[in-house]
Amino acid sequence: MPFPRPVRDEALVKSHRRCCVCHEFGGRSVNVHHIIQEADGGANTIDNAICLCLRCHAEAGHFNPRHPMGTKYSPDELRNHRDQWWQHCVKHPDEPFQPALDVSYKAILRSAELHRYHLLIAYTNQFKEAQSGWKVQVFIPAFVPVDSVEFERYQKSVNGTHYNVFAYESNEKIYPGETVEIIPSMNVFHIEYQINHQVFMRLHQNPCVLWRFFTTSAPSVEGDRPLAELQEF
């Protein structure tokens, strides 16, 4: 069973909706994880709760003892990570966090030969002032078939890799604490990419999707994520 809502809310607030291991802002994609799983007798209490981003949650929850590659997250280690981060949050309640984007995807079509996805990006304004405009740039490796609507499109090379760049600018105001879908899953406004057999065979080269996000009065955000993590072929 999931944690009761009051326990989830307390864990999210204590963590500032950030991962207790890597400290990245999780936004809507943060998980409240059982340090000791219910199947092993773990309780649905705040003492057994830790906030983790999707990546760290997968690392903490998927360890194969029959093929023990890497080092398993132990309950004691997770508690120590959590307690250190919660202490940090208490000491820095008004910390001006680096703004972050929640980058994910939604499957549109899945078949044996082809998968199609919409790229999703959401921004949460963690600052005390409203942002009166923003601009986003998304860099997708040029070998990936992409369809976009309403985005400016051009090509650019970054560190020797050729990308198709998709850019959009808006005067939309984002108020403090508000989360806005910068790239939503809509037919009339979207970035849709395809993972076919040829693209899938190149995922071992670890190609990344890059992004840059600019607002009027906050630091810019730059990030990347392996294309392999933005699909489920």
Same domain, residue pair 164 and 109: yes
Does residue 218 belong to any structural domain of this protein? yes
Does residue 96 belong to any structural domain of this protein? no
Nearest to 121 by CA among 142, 134, 105: 105
Does residue 188 belong to any structural domain of this protein? yes
Binning pLDDT at 50, 70 and 90, where does residue 67 land? Answer: very low
- Look at residues 91, 119, 138 and tell me which one is the last residue of a structural domain: 91
- Look at residues 91, 125, 144 and tell me which one is the last residue of a structural domain: 91
- Look at residues 71, 91, 111 and tell me which one is the last residue of a structural domain: 91
Same domain, residue pair 77 and 116: no
- pLDDT over 70 at 81, yes or no: yes
pTM of the model: 0.64
What ranges make up the beta strands (E) of 65-207?
101-110, 114-124, 134-141, 146-149, 152-158, 161-170, 179-183, 190-196
Does residue 206 belong to any structural domain of this protein? yes
Does residue 70 belong to any structural domain of this protein? yes
Q: What is the pLDDT of residues 130-152, one digit of tens each?
A: 889 999 999 999 999 999 999 99
Nearest to 161 by CA among 146, 140, 147: 140
Identify the domain containing residue 117 by its residue range: 101-230
Q: What is the pLDDT of residues 22-32, one digit of tens each?
A: 887 777 778 89
Same domain, residue pair 169 and 224: yes
Percent of the chain at pLDDT exceeding 90? 55
Number of structural domains in the chain: 2
pLDDT at 195: 96
Does residue 65 belong to any structural domain of this protein? yes
Same domain, residue pair 60 and 81: yes
Does residue 17 belong to any structural domain of this protein? yes
pLDDT at 92: 82
Same domain, residue pair 41 and 109: no
Same domain, residue pair 118 and 194: yes
Give yes or no for a contact between 106 and 120, defined as CB atoms under 8 angstroms apart: yes
- Domain with residue 199: its CATH number is 2.60.40.10
Average pLDDT over residues 89-102: 73
CA angle 24/28/29 to nearest 5° reads 60
Same domain, residue pair 84 and 109: no
Q: What is the pLDDT of residues 164-197, one digit of tens each?
A: 999 999 999 998 878 889 999 888 899 999 999 9
Same domain, residue pair 42 and 86: yes
Same domain, residue pair 109 and 218: yes
